[in-house]
């Protein structure tokens, strides 16, 4: 499959991507665990059917030491016993934030309260931004039909 548009070749797109990628680097410096960030990115990407992001975040998570068992169970995290309560809260927030159009009124208060039990304000801010950014990347990739399979860990910084 060929992409409809090379997002790095278009000057306008490349400039915007530079800023979005830079924003994403902020969270690498946050106290929100890297594993949680990658699990959330993977789950949102699964929901959005973004093959490029699924490829990227599966490989980035594995490169960071995530196990194949946990990566394979992200899609069924509710039934899996391998995630912490904090990770479950983050995955639920990611799902609700990704499926925002499916729920009149947005993310339920209970979902937010559960996440707030496990993460401090800075971690919650990082989590919200990670969810928002991965959804933006998912939409860019799906709209332009970016191919998947060739991603190498560390490729985008």
Q: Domain residue spans in the chain?
A: 11-142
- Which residue positions in the chain have pLDDT lower than 50? none
pLDDT of 49 reads 96
Contact 134, 45 (CB under 8 A): yes
pLDDT of 71 reads 97
| Cα 122 from Cα 152, distance rounded (Å) | 30
**What is the token pair recorded at 129?**
């931004």
pLDDT tens digits along 19-37: 998 998 898 899 999 999 9
Q: Quick one: 120 exposed, middle or buried, by C-beta within 10 A (0-12, 13-18, 19+)?
A: exposed
Ramachandran assignment for 106, one of left (phi > 0), alpha (psi -120 to 50 degrees), beta (any other): left
What is the end-to-end Cα distance of the chain in Å, rounded? 25
| Cα 94 from Cα 77, distance rounded (Å) | 12
User: Is 11-142 assigned to CATH 1.10.10.10?
Assistant: no
pLDDT of 152 reads 79
pLDDT of 155 reads 66
pLDDT of 59 reads 95
pLDDT of 5 reads 85
């Amino acid at each position: 499959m060929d992409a409809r548009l090379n997002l790095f070749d278009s000057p306008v797109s490349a400039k915007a991507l530079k800023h979005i990628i830079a924003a994403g680097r902020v969270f690498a410096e946050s106290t929100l665990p890297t594993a949680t960030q990658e699990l959330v990115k993977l789950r949102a990407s699964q929901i959005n059917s973004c093959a490029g992001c699924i490829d990227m975040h599966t490989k980035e998570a594995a490169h960071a030491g995530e196990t194949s068992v946990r990566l394979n169970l992200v899609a069924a995290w509710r039934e899996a016993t391998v995630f912490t309560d904090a990770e479950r809260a983050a995955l639920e927030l990611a799902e609700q934030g990704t499926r925002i159009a499916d729920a009149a009124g947005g993310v339920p208060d209970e979902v937010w309260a559960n996440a707030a039990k496990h993460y401090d304000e800075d971690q919650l801010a990082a989590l919200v931004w990670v969810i928002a950014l991965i959804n933006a990347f998912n939409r860019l990739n799906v709209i332009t039909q970016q191919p998947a399979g060739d991603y190498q860990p560390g490729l985008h910084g």
